Structure 1
Amino acid sequence: MQEASYHLAIFGSPPEGFVDEFHEALQAKLAVLSLNLGIEVDWYTGMPAEYRVANGKCTAALCFPLPDGQDVHITKLMKDGVPVIPVASKLGHLAAEFPPSVSILNGLGLDSSDVPTIVNCLLECASLLPRQRRVFLSYRRTESTTAALQLYAALSERLFDVFLDTHEILPGEHFQEVLWQKLCDSDVMIYLDTPSYFDSRWTTAEFGRAVFRGVPILRAGWPEVALDDRSQATLDLRLTKDDFLSDGVSLTNECLARICRSAEDLRAEGVATRYRLLMNAFGTSLERAQATIEGYSLRRSLTVKPKRGEPIYVYPALGVPTTYTLHDATLDNHPAPVAVVYDNAGIEERRWQTHMEWISNYLEKDVRLVEPYNSGWRFLDWRK
């Protein structure tokens, strides 16, 4: 039996009928992504004391009111980096229905959030919204354009946001800068390992930069192409002649499905890994400033308690932040300014930098971009 790529949970005591309605809405949302509850997506309902975190997997949970003593297990889950969304009968009742360790988190109220909204919030915490599922295709045009176009279509059908250089870079744009920017924004890179893949300066650079950025890599290896030494850290999917149609260049539907499924598995692990790396860098800087992370919740937000002063609310961005990222960080009505922390390694596109610097000047009082290693330093004087 295959291991699930994503793990979702409901803790505590939801109102009668909620779980069945939620289950039905969740199944419908996942079906659009070609994912199945109980197969690719694991599902748990019960008390947090019995829940076991799946290390290296995308995990998120809803939390309804708990019996006395169960909140310590929620605290442990948050220390493991699991986003937890408390759900109260009314949004204004969070403090009354949950202990302080849980009510401090971003939460939802059944009076103001319907089931589809709550489903979307949980999927967002597990990085399962379509706009969060980004794949970068790396290939030699002279050898595998047909297969790359097939994969683009197959992945797009599964609601991945796919980068393919022939489709995504407009005339007049600085080709290489845009390409590196898209790579930094991707959850997984699939490279079509044809006979001369590593003979190209550009595909070799794409591979090396994906490794540096921490983007997980899936190798689709052509028949009789030996595994390069550089590929030892990749997920290796070796193709055979049976994976191709009679023309010798087009992939079979079965092969396309296998690559898409492998990309889904690798993406789930990769998101968890990249998130952990970002949090490690962020946490190291906070430690130097004697600040602590108190919890993870809605929109993967963090509650950071500085050594002195009020909590600071932080929104991690795994990819390249945009104005949409900044806007989303302001939706929870936290005391301003809130922070968006992102991994700036490799993000060099000049137009993006100019635009973000321009918009940041206007939003400085509401939301600020923060690099992880500078966060503790900046938080020392955050509201001054």
Structure 2
Amino acid sequence: MTPFYELAIFGDIPAELLDELTAELTARLGELSLTLGQEVSLFVGPPSKFEPIGDRCGSALCFKIPQEEEQNVANLMRLGIAVVPVASTSKVFSSEFPNSVGQLNGIALDKLGVKGAVLALMECASLLPRQRSVFLSYRREESAEAALQLYAALSARLYDVFLDTHDIQPGRHFQEVLWQRLCDSDVLLFLDTPGYFESRWTDAEFGRATWRGIPLLRAAWPKVALSARAQLATSVELSDSDFTEQSGHLTEAGIKRICDGVEETRTRSVAARFQQLITTLRASVERGKGHVEGLSLRRSLIVATPNGKRVAVYPALGVPTSYTLYDATRDNHPAPVAVVYDDAGVDEREWREHMNWITEYVKGAVRLVSSYKAGWDFSDWN
């Protein structure tokens, strides 16, 4: 099968360490119901031999490599592959990684160990549980039972699943929370039943997701024709055999087909949205006569401004939170660092009030920046 995620390990690595990394990675992926060598590929070798498909999430750990391979690392980063240098100890980092690779955020095995290296690899490929989100859109009177089954199955794969009956607390503004969670999702999974587009709410969810650019996965009920509006959606066509004799309930095979569809749609979604965010950021920065460098730990970049400043930038897919701001401060870059995000459609009042409040108090360390305005903001960064 074609893998959903593409991982790699480059450079001079002892065989026993490779075995430890592979075992830890296998265990971590198993928690997500993913299998190394099937849904997730692992390449081991020189950067020049790694040929990713390119339209799905990927990342690499880079141990010591020959100098002539540095340009190949740079080429992979331009394709959206985050590369994390891994040194044996923090004291020898500069000697093991001179020049361009040495400028990237890296880790030292003597401090983080095998577990830390695997978590860094998975984080850069958006494979940590806190990075996985899906919005489940359905018409209650037609598919509530199936929606609950899928909620449970996707949650078991460590997805953060939004289901309106489970995820909006009493007293909160229903519609604002709904749109906020939609903006924060990797995939809109919609259960295309006969009356799906006749509901005001599901019709609006579909329309907002389309406008936001969130990929659509259509779980098509038997005999439901494809709507002209859903032509760009990926479809999982269900048949009568995908349902049990108990009315409205999916079989285990049907649930697995849909969950696998979510996984494949998600990896394409995240890769495409991340590239779009970086492209917007780069265009804005270059308009201000700056430039963007690198792609490494936690998918961080460095923006070089025209006045000689170098700003560490952390792209955020979805809706930034206070944890996103904290996460951006963990690599000891000179403050302030930036969290860059796409602010289109992100307008819940409580979120804006909270983020305005928190950034006012931590703006000396980290700041929120719209990708569209990045060049403007960085022009007088201080």
Q: TM-score range by the shorter chain?
A: over 0.9
Structure 1 segment 290-369 matched on structure 2, within 5 A? 290-369=289-368
Whether the 8 Å CA contact 2:338–2:368 is kept in 1: the answer is yes
- Residue 333 (structure 1) shift: 0.5
Distance in 2 between residues matched to 1:311 and 1:357, nearest whole Å: 24
Distance in 2 between residues matched to 1:160 and 1:89, nearest whole Å: 33
Distance in 1 between residues matched to 2:276 and 2:66, nearest whole Å: 34
Residue 70 of structure 1 aligns with which residue? 69
Distance in 2 between residues matched to 1:248 and 1:239, nearest whole Å: 15
Tell me which amino acid in the other structure corresponds to 2:337: V
Tell me which amino acid in the other structure corresponds to 2:250: L
TM-score, normalization: structure 1? 0.98
- Residue 237 (structure 1) shift: 1.1
- The secondary structure found in structure 2 opposite 1:111 is helix
Tell me which amino acid in the other structure corresponds to 1:238: E
- The secondary structure found in structure 1 opposite 2:335 is coil
Distance in 1 between residues matched to 2:160 and 2:142, nearest whole Å: 23
- Residue 81 (structure 1) shift: 2.2
Tell me which amino acid in the other structure corresponds to 1:124: E
Tell me which amino acid in the other structure corresponds to 1:67: P
Residue 10 of structure 1 aligns with which residue? 9
Residue 58 of structure 1 aligns with which residue? 57
- Residue 16 (structure 1) shift: 4.3
- The secondary structure found in structure 2 opposite 1:36 is coil
Deviates more, 1:21-30 or 1:289-298: 289-298
Structure 1 segment 1-384 matched on structure 2, within 5 A? 2-383=1-382
Distance in 1 between residues matched to 2:335 and 2:14, nearest whole Å: 34
Whether the 8 Å CA contact 1:134–1:188 is kept in 2: the answer is yes
Whether the 8 Å CA contact 1:190–1:220 is kept in 2: the answer is yes
Distance in 1 between residues matched to 2:303 and 2:94, nearest whole Å: 18
**Deviations for 1:70-115, whole angstroms, at most 9, x for unmatched residues?**
1111111122221110011222322211122011110001221110
Structure 1 outlier segments of 4+, above 3 Å? none
Percentage identity across paired residues of the two chains: 54
Tell me which amino acid in the other structure corresponds to 1:102: V
- The secondary structure found in structure 1 opposite 2:334 is coil
Gaps (5+ residues) in structure 1? none
Distance in 1 between residues matched to 2:70 and 2:53, nearest whole Å: 19
- The secondary structure found in structure 1 opposite 2:249 is coil
- Residue 171 (structure 1) shift: 1.0
- Residue 240 (structure 1) shift: 1.1
Distance in 2 between residues matched to 1:367 and 1:196, nearest whole Å: 46
Tell me which amino acid in the other structure corresponds to 1:365: G
Whether the 8 Å CA contact 1:139–1:148 is kept in 2: the answer is yes
Tell me which amino acid in the other structure corresponds to 1:156: S
Whether the 8 Å CA contact 2:80–2:271 is kept in 1: the answer is no
Distance in 2 between residues matched to 1:84 and 1:310, nearest whole Å: 23
Distance in 1 between residues matched to 2:250 and 2:81, nearest whole Å: 38
TM-score, normalization: structure 2? 0.98
Whether the 8 Å CA contact 1:91–1:107 is kept in 2: the answer is no
- The secondary structure found in structure 1 opposite 2:277 is helix
Whether the 8 Å CA contact 2:60–2:82 is kept in 1: the answer is yes
- The secondary structure found in structure 1 opposite 2:60 is strand
Tell me which amino acid in the other structure corresponds to 1:125: C
Gaps (5+ residues) in structure 2? none
- Residue 15 (structure 1) shift: 3.4
Deviates more, 1:26-35 or 1:209-218: 209-218
Distance in 2 between residues matched to 1:264 and 1:79, nearest whole Å: 24
Tell me which amino acid in the other structure corresponds to 1:133: R
Tell me which amino acid in the other structure corresponds to 1:292: H
Tell me which amino acid in the other structure corresponds to 2:4: S
- Residue 46 (structure 1) shift: 0.6
Distance in 2 between residues matched to 1:287 and 1:105, nearest whole Å: 20
Distance in 1 between residues matched to 2:296 and 2:91, nearest whole Å: 17
